[in-house]
């Protein structure tokens, strides 16, 4: 392997001079710079990034940890973080926590290989986060809440989202609204449910029969919906903890000969790409993913500058109205949002 030493020798200068020349310092005269560059080219010299980082004590890269590196959910978010990172002259690399303690995420976090991290991954333990966050490596955690030095939090206002979606259904006249949530370890899902319950409570509605959990997958939504429909009484609307589950719901409903929105209204959560192409297009709650991404990245850089303005941020959420909801057909007497 050709090193800077070889380049220096080949160019007939000292190692240190070669280093200066290669890094474009103006301490070196134009003609020696040329000489060195030429030598480097001839030998096909490629610098060793580690050695550099080791000496410089900073890596200029920030790490994005995702739960599986492949979900459709992340697109916009990644785009956001990437833009900010790049414009700060830093690099962004992504990895996943697949593999548990042997995962790339663990290694990079524990081995001080990055100058900051953005974590969107429920699998990374709080312990690891607290252990890894430090001066020189701030961490922003998304969609969950973890407290600690050099740790900040960014999340969508899931409570608000859950509340508004439910409210929206109620204003269309629904009172029998089912909830099919995500896995219980998802803080986001919990909060959405919280908003849902709050809306219900305001109207004095008590729902005990129609609260199920899926696991945020299409499969899960499908099955949960099926058990829901096998009960004797049906709700007139279903609120799903995310869009994937709503897709599963569509399928289950179709199998039961029920149509959306005539027989049951549906609202999802997330606004993934598919949502608008479903038939009927899915009314859902959009998370400001791009904004969350940029926000997270900005926070990292702010923290690097020593500013820890605030530890926790909540971003507003937006209801996207499409065609999967309408007033319930069997309760015309309940009016259209007049009961408030």
Partner DNA sequence: GAAATTTATCGAAACGTTTCGATTTGTTTT
Partner DNA sequence: AAAACAAATCGAAACGTTTCGATAAATTTC
| Strand-by-strand arrangement of the 283-286 sheet | 211-213, 177-181, 237-240, 265-270, 283-286, 318-320
Which residues ranging from 54 to 73 are in contact with a copy of itself (CB under 8 A)? 54, 57, 59, 61, 68-72
Tokens 């000496």 -> residue? 55
- Residues in a beta bridge with 181: 213
Of the residues 38, 41, 42, 48, which one makes contact with DNA according to CB under 7 A: 48
Confirm or reject binding of residue 51 to a copy of itself (CB under 8 A). Answer: yes
Q: Nearest distance from residue 305's CB to a copy of itself, in Å?
A: 19
**Beta pairing, strands 283-286 & 312-315:** unpaired
Give the chain's largest Cα–Cα span. Answer: 94
Contacts of 32 (CB under 8 A, 6+ apart): 11, 13, 17, 21
In contact, 203 and 176? CB cutoff 8 Å: no
Partners of 286 in the beta sheet?
270, 318
322: nearest Cα among 288, 284, 287, 289? 284
List binders of DNA among 8-27 (CB under 7 A): 12-17, 19-20, 22-23, 26-27
- What distance in Å separates the CA atoms of residue 110 and residue 113, rounded to the nearest whole number? 8
Q: Helix, strand, or coil here: 110?
A: helix
Is the separation of the CB atoms in 21 and 38 below 8 Å?
no
How many residues interact with a copy of itself (rule CB under 8 A)?
A: 53
Decide if residue 286 touches a copy of itself (CB under 8 A). Answer: no
The reply on whether position 198 binds a copy of itself by CB under 8 A is no
CB nearer a copy of itself, residue 37 or residue 93: 93
The Cα–Cα gap between 277 and 282 comes to 8
- Report the nearest approach of DNA to the CB of residue 41 (Å): 14
Of 251 and 314, CB closest to a copy of itself:
251
Which residue is associated with the tokens 């290989």? Answer: 113
Q: Does 93 bind a copy of itself (CB under 8 A)?
A: yes
113 lies in the site for DNA, by CB under 7 A:
no
Question: In the bound complex, what is the minimum distance in angstroms from residue 285's beta carbon to DNA?
Answer: 46
**Quick check: 259 binds a copy of itself (CB under 8 A)?**
no
Binding window for a copy of itself (CB under 8 A); candidates: 86-94, 117-125, 199-207, 302-310: 86-94
Buried b or exposed e, range 256-274, using 16+ CB within 10 angstroms: beeebbeebbbbbbbbbeb
Binding residues for DNA, total number by CB under 7 A: 30
Subset of 115-174 contacting DNA (CB under 7 A): none
28 binds, among DNA, a copy of itself, none (CB under 5 to 8 A by kind): DNA
* Residues binding DNA (CB under 7 A): 1, 3-5, 12-17, 19-20, 22-23, 26-29, 31-32, 45-48, 51-52, 54-57
Give residues in contact with a copy of itself (CB under 8 A): 1, 44, 46-54, 57, 59, 61, 68-72, 74-76, 78-79, 82, 86, 89, 91-96, 98-99, 102-104, 107-108, 110-113, 131-132, 136, 247, 273-274, 277-279
């Amino acid at each position: 392997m050709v090193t800077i030493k070889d380049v220096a020798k080949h160019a007939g200068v000292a190692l240190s001079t070669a280093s200066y020349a290669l890094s474009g310092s103006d301490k070196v005269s134009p003609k020696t710079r040329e000489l060195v560059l030429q030598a480097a080219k001839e030998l096909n010299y490629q610098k060793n990034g580690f050695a550099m980082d080791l000496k410089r004590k900073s890596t200029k890269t920030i790490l994005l940890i995702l739960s599986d590196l492949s979900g459709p959910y992340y697109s916009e978010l990644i785009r956001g973080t990437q833009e900010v990172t790049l414009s700060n002259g830093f690099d962004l690399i992504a990895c996943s926590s697949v593999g548990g303690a042997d995962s790339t995420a663990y290694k990079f976090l524990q081995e001080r290989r990055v100058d900051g991290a953005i974590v969107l991954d429920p699998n990374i333990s709080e312990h690891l986060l607290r252990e890894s966050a430090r001066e020189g490596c701030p961490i922003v955690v998304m969609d969950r809440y973890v407290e600690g030095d050099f740790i900040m939090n960014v999340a969508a206002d899931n409570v608000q989202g859950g509340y508004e979606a439910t409210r929206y259904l109620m204003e269309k006249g629904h009172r029998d609204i089912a909830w099919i949530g995500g896995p219980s370890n998802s803080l986001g899902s919990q909060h959405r449910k919280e908003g849902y319950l709050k809306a219900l409570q305001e109207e004095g509605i008590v729902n005990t029969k129609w609260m199920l959990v899926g696991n945020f997958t299409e499969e899960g939504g499908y099955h949960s919906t099926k058990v829901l429909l096998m009960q004797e009484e049906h709700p007139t609307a279903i609120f799903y903890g995310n869009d994937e589950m709503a897709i599963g719901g569509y399928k289950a409903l179709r199998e039961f000969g029920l149509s959306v929105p005539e027989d049951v209204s549906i609202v999802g959560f997330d606004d993934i790409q598919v949502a608008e192409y479903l038939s009927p297009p899915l009314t859902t709650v959009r998370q400001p993913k791009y904004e969350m991404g940029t926000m997270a990245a900005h926070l990292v850089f702010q923290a690097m500058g020593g500013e820890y303005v605030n530890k926790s941020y909540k971003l507003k959420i937006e209801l996207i109205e499409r065609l999967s909801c309408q007033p319930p057909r069997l309760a015309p007497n309940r009016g259209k949002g007049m009961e408030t």
